[in-house]
Structure 1
Amino acid sequence: MLKVYLSGEIHTDWREQITTGAQGLDVAFSAPVTNHAASDDCGVAILGAEADKFWHDRKGAQINAIRTRKGIEDADVVVVRFGEQYKQWNAAFDAGYAAALGKSLIILHGPDHAHALKEVDAAALAVASEPSQVVEILRYVLTSELP
């Protein structure tokens, strides 16, 4: 079974496109918490309120990092999606962490990010522009079948 961690933007349905497209393949997917409010507020919900927004965010980031690190470390392949609307510093960090661990890395973004992500792309084994291309990469890796 191929373990795939799906990291990156949470504002589109790219994860669902990949998991639906990969049905029938021997793949297990994992991902960060994609409920934005839960992800932002997990630290204060679990460990107590913070008056300063910096510490509010810090608590959440650290608790989320437990899940993220485990997901990336356990994965055979890490897919990192950079969306169009927001700067995803967390996605860039996840890509770097995966690369440092020697994980097989697939980067997913549109053409507008090609220049900004050139170093991230250079660390990847594949750079895709559509979720369907990620599915075809996984299919090829597992079955050696071409689309």
Structure 2
Amino acid sequence: MLRVYLSGEIHTDWRERITKGAEGLDVTFTGPVTDHAASDDCGVAILGAEDDKFWHDRKGAQLNAIRTRKGIEEADVVVVRFGDQYKQWNAAFDAGYAAALGKSLVILHGPDHAHALKEVDAAALAVASEPEQVVQILRYVLTGTLPG
């Protein structure tokens, strides 16, 4: 079984396209909490309210880091998606963490990010522009089958 951690932007359907496309393959997917409000507020919901937004955000970031570290450390492959709408500093951090751990890293982004992400791309074993290409990578890794 191949364990794949899906990191990165949460505003498009790329995760669903990959998981649906990989149906029938011996693969399990994990990833961050993609409910933006839950992710932002988990720290104060669990550990108590904060008056200062800095500490509110910090509590959430630290709890989310527990999940992220576990997911990346347990993964065989880490897919990191950089979307067009926001600057995803967390995605870049996840890519760096995965690379430092020697994980097989697949980066997913459009052509507009090619220059900005050249160092991240250089650390990856594959750079894809569409979620369906990630599915094809996973299928090839697991079965040796090329797209038809």
Bin for the TM-score computed over the shorter chain:
over 0.9
* Aligned equivalent of 1:85: 85
Aligned length, in residue pairs: 147
1:145 Cα deviation after fit? 0.3
Residue 27 of structure 1 aligns with an amino acid whose one-letter code is: V
What residue is the counterpart of 2:131 in the other structure? 131
| Other-structure match for 2:4 | 4
Q: 1:74 matched to which residue of 2?
A: 74
Question: Residue 51 of structure 2 aligns with which residue?
Answer: 51
- Name the CA distance, whole Å, in 2 between partners of 1:85 and 1:15: 16
Give the deviation of 1:55 after TM superposition: 0.3
Q: Tell me, which stretches of 5 or more residues in structure 2 are unaligned?
A: none
Structure 1: which 4+ aligned runs deviate by more than 6 Å? none
Deviation at 1:17, TM superposition (A): 0.1
- Structure 2 counterpart of 1:30, which letter? T
Query: TM-score if structure 1 supplies the norm length?
Result: 1.00
TM-score, with length taken from structure 2: 0.99
Q: What's 1:107 paired with? A: 107
Seq. identity, %: 88
> 1:22-61 maps to which residues of 2 (within 5 A)?
22-61=22-61
CA shift, 1:38, in A, is 0.1
Distance 1:4 1:75 in 2: 5
Secondary structure in structure 1 of the residue aligned to 2:106:
strand
Aligned to 2:140: 140
Structure 1, gaps ≥5 residues long = none
In 1: Cα distance, 2:16 partner to 2:70 partner:
21
Q: What is the Cα deviation at residue 19 of structure 1? A: 0.1
What code does the residue aligned with 1:89 have? W
State the shift of 1:83 in Å. Answer: 0.2
> Which residue of structure 2 lines up, in the alignment, with residue 16 of structure 1?
16
User: Could you tell me how far 1:118 is from its partner in structure 2?
Assistant: 0.2
Provide the residue aligned with 2:116 in structure 1.
Answer: 116
